[in-house]
């Protein structure tokens, strides 16, 4: 996928969602350090999945 704007107009994969959320939250003032991007492995289906973990008031 290209830019977050292209993703919002069409469809995307999990990493597109995670990156778009990261960029939007960063624009709203959330610190980069409070938003690690995590890649998980589903060992049953043998696929990877990207998620954005956000710390809010010290809780993830």
Tens digit of each residue's pLDDT (9 = 90 or more) over 41-55: 999 999 999 999 999
Rounded to whole angstroms, how far apart are CA atoms 6 and 10?
A: 6
Please give the DSSP secondary-structure letter assigned to residue 50. Answer: E
Rounded to whole angstroms, how far apart are CA atoms 36 and 18?
A: 10
Please state which of the ranges 8-12, 34-38, 54-58 shows the lowest mean pLDDT.
8-12
Rounded to whole angstroms, how far apart are CA atoms 53 and 34?
A: 8
Domain ranges of the chain: 4-52
pTM of the model: 0.74
């Amino acid at each position: 996928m290209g830019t977050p704007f292209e993703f919002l107009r069409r469809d995307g994969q999990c990493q597109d969602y995670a990156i778009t959320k990261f960029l939007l939250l960063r624009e709203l003032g959330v610190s980069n350090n409070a938003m690690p991007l995590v890649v998980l492995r589903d060992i049953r289906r043998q696929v990877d999945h990207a998620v954005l973990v956000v710390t809010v008031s010290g809780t993830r």
